[in-house]
Structure 1
Amino acid sequence: MKSSASVLRPSETRQRIVDTAARLFYTQGYNLTGINQLIDEAGVAKASLYQHFASKEELLIAYLTKTSNEWFDQLTEHVSPYDTPKAKVLASFDLLLNFSESVSFRGCNFQNIISEVPLESETVRSVIRTHKAKMRQFFTDLLAETAHAELADAVTVLFEGALIAGQTQQAIWPVQSAHALLEKLL
């Protein structure tokens, strides 16, 4: 009888590897996740891993790219029912609160990784900067046609700060405080 790993199609194998890496990189960290653990938990052969990813860093980039795409899909869907830019900004902070609680305040996938990779890992750092720039652009676009357009960068800083403070404090109050401040500012 064939093992389940041997009957997976290449795209399924790749997806299983990325999903396993996502879970392990997020819960235990990039540097503490070994290739052998990843192979074991994904249920794939070492050759399969290297057929899809030339290096652990390449797998990290796939994880970050997947995570970014999923975040922005979720964010767009979450704010779409709201009519005003202010309501959409506040809804994005509600989503941040839900996310923070759902991951037990483990924090931002990107902030966690940036502290683990060396400065020389420019490709990884570029993926992270791109994600964060896209978040900034999201708020810039929302507020562009309002009287508060100049606050887009401040909203971005509040969002990022609330995320990291929530992780540090293991509490919801940083996100709630940022939300309350924005209700007054916008």
Structure 2
Amino acid sequence: MGLLGEFGELLLPRRCAGCGRENVSLCTRCLRLLGGIPRAMEPRYGTIPIVGVCEYNSQISKMVVGYKDEGRRDILDPLALALTRSIVAALDLIGYSGGAIRLFPAPSSDRARRRRGGSHTAALANRAKELSPELPLEVFDVLAAKRSRDQVGLGAIERARNAERTQYLNRRRIAEIPEM
């Protein structure tokens, strides 16, 4: 950290992205939340198996919102490692036997991408790839989203309705996907 960053820490101490504890990006307690056993969930829509990093709670919610909307890139590595563990658990669940693993990050609207300085989900997937060179991960940021209502405070059914017909393939980027 440079001198300017250290001076900034004196004025505005860093706080845990999960619980708000001072002087850490993630405290041990909140970091442990990301280190639990990934859990398989029944898909609510479709048939693709879903594996969650952990049980979703208020600290996890704060971490996700902090990373996504508040620019907390200081927690990118722990989130990427948790994502990698979930990917490995999902591969075990389906009996993965080798070959490329393609990740298609969830899209954000153009407005959200501009506000956040890019795709936070693509950055997360790419960091997971960098931190796990033993996994043949390929990241294709080819999904796009039309603007929709903010999802905060919506239940599962309301989120599904809100997201309906808002996601689509970015036709200009489809050519990036090689044949299997």
Question: Under a length normalisation based on structure 2, what TM-score does the superposition of the two structures give?
Answer: 0.35
Instruction: Choose between structure 1 and 2: higher helix proportion.
Output: 1
TM-score normalized by the length of structure 1: 0.35
Q: Name which one, 1 or 2, has greater alpha-carbon Rg.
A: 1
By relative contact order (CA 8 Å, sep 6+), the higher-ranking structure is 1
